[in-house]
Amino acid sequence: MTTALISDIHGNVDALKIVLADIESRGIERIICLGDIIGYGPNPLECVDLVMAKCEFAMLGNHDFAVLYEPTSFNASAEQSCYWTRQQFEKEEDPEKRKKRYTYLGNLSIRKQTEMGLFVHASPRRPINEYIFPDDTLTAPVKMQQIFDRIEQRCFCGHTHVPGVFTDEPDFYPPKDLGGTYTFTDDEKCIINPGSVGQPRDRDPRASYAVMTDEKIEFVRIEYPVQDVADKVSMIPQLNDFLGQRLFDGR
């Protein structure tokens, strides 16, 4: 069954709607979210509602966790956006909607093993908040070995907002080096990052997601109205303008 992988939406409903429309146009019925539905962006409630309605399951991201509990090791703008996001949940006048959203976030999985592979938000070793950076393949070989020791064959994660494939050589391949598609092989473990829907950080401002079959995974980029999102961020005093401006540069 063909599966769409989305991650790191971060309250950017404009990007999410366009990605979901592209997924639907491909006839894909199964969508999995790798976490960070909220945080940073101006439309957290709408994003949670869409993920609830459209995704087969979703993972718990560090920003989702922070809204439920407390932000840990967040910078000032991320922490402030977390508290503002929580306020939006609390301001919901319909008690059933408020309860449904909180219950959904509270029941998100930290780690989920399926026939497709292992699903986490961050890493198999620390599923909520450990970054796996492309440079780790060169600068942190012990870390990469320990991470690969925790997966059977395939793992799917987000968190860094950088799309690409890690292999157990170890090495990292951005989508452009793969021609946009990675073919699975039985003799190679891999970790797949579909990139970020709502806040890409690979210097490409287009929304990023991935389409997976039994044989391969394809990385997809979609343009969305970045200016509209930046304008909405600028209208919210509790959100740092940088959170909108960074979207233009994909950083």
**Interval 86-136: pLDDT, tens:** 999 999 999 999 999 999 999 999 999 999 999 999 999 999 999 999 999
pTM of the model: 0.97
CATH at residue 89: 3.60.21.10
**Interval 167-223: pLDDT, tens:** 999 999 999 999 999 999 999 999 999 999 999 999 999 999 999 999 999 999 999
Structural domain including 15 reads 3-248
Question: Rounded CA gap, 10 and 58, in Å?
Answer: 14
Domain count, the chain: 1
Question: Rounded CA gap, 52 and 85, in Å?
Answer: 17
Listed residue (2, 6, 1, 37) closest to 210, CA to CA: 6
